[in-house]
């Protein structure tokens, strides 16, 4: 008659406890557990963080062989390419493979009107902004307050190289706003403008 045996060949006859008389040799479970842990350590040690192509084999090599310039399989990071090198950027390119053109920022300030509308030797009066813009010479633009320095009337005409006020006949030079004829006591204050894409912009 054979004795019933417990797990790992332990005898259960006569109510003997499982721990008594245990064989000092490692059990099969212990051996398998040790082998499993050792194998797991080896797998983790061999892991790589390098990118692997989708259709690559177990060694990480694509069907057509390794691509030129492929990342090293050891997981080592390569340093970024120096500016001006031929290395490709990792950032995605826009559709069509062409770089997007940056939109020009809109100039700050108030657009008064077209610079081409201001005649050479004359000017234009912008009533809402209370500004007069003159062009004493081709491509040379000047801007002044359109408020007469006498009693605060708005100037209303630019002719014969002068800016005229309708209230009391004061006149100012289109080149620097200086008084040509009174009773205005002082020149027209200068204003800051710039020309962008044929637009007169009050700063």
- Structural domain includes residue 166: yes
Residue 176 belongs to some domain of the structure? yes
Class of residue 25 by CB neighbours under 10 A (exposed 0-12, middle 13-18, buried 19+): exposed
| Run means of pLDDT, 10 residues per run, the chain, 203 residues | 47 46 62 63 57 64 61 47 47 55 73 93 94 94 96 93 94 95 93 94 92
Q: How many domains does the chain have?
A: 1
C-beta atoms surrounding 191 within 10 Å: 18
Does 16 reside within a domain? no
pLDDT score at 182: 82
Q: Which residues are paired to 15 by β-bridges?
A: none
| Cβ 124 vs Cβ 130: under 8 Å | no
Q: Is residue 154 packed enough to be buried (19+ CB in 10 Å), middle (13-18) or exposed (0-12)? A: middle
CATH of the domain at 139: 2.102.10.10
pLDDT of 171 reads 96
| Domain-located, residue 194 | yes
List the 193-196 sheet strands across, edge first.
Answer: 110-114, 199-202, 193-196
- Would you say residue 72 lies in a domain? no
What is the pLDDT at residue 78? Answer: 46
Count CB atoms within 10 A of the CB of residue 101: 6
Under DSSP, is residue 196 helix (H, G, I), strand (E, B) or coil?
strand
* Alpha carbon distances (Å) from 200 to 64, 130, 163, 177: 62, 14, 19, 18
Specify if 48 maps to a domain: no
3-state SS, residue 179: strand
Alpha-carbon distance 27 to 5, whole Å? 15
Q: What is the pLDDT of residue 120?
A: 93
Range of the domain at 160: 116-202
Contact 125, 156 (CB under 8 A): yes
80 domain-assigned: no
Query: How crowded is the C-beta side of 17, counted as CA atoms within 13 Å?
Result: 3
Query: How large is the C-alpha radius of gyration of the chain?
Result: 45
pLDDT at 108: 82
What is the model's pLDDT at position 12? Answer: 45
């Amino acid at each position: 008659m054979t004795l019933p045996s417990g797990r790992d060949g332990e005898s259960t006859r006569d109510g003997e406890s499982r721990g008594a008389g245990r064989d000092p040799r490692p059990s099969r479970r212990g051996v398998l557990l040790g082998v499993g842990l050792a194998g797991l350590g080896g797998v983790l040690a061999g892991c790589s963080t390098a990118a692997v192509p989708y259709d690559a084999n177990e060694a990480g090599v694509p069907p057509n062989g390794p691509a030129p310039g492929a990342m090293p399989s050891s997981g080592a990071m390569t340093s970024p390419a120096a500016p001006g090198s031929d290395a490709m950027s990792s950032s995605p390119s826009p559709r069509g493979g062409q770089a997007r053109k940056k939109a020009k920022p809109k100039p700050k300030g108030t657009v008064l009107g077209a610079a081409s509308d201001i005649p050479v030797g004359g000017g234009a009066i912008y009533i809402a902004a209370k500004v007069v813009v003159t062009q004493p010479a081709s491509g040379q633009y000047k801007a002044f307050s359109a408020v007469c320095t006498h009693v605060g009337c708005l100037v209303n005409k630019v002719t014969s190289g002068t800016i005229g006020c309708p209230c009391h006949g004061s006149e100012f030079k289109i080149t620097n706003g200086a008084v040509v004829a009174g009773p205005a006591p002082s020149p027209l204050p200068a204003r800051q403008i710039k020309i962008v894409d044929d637009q007169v912009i009050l700063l």
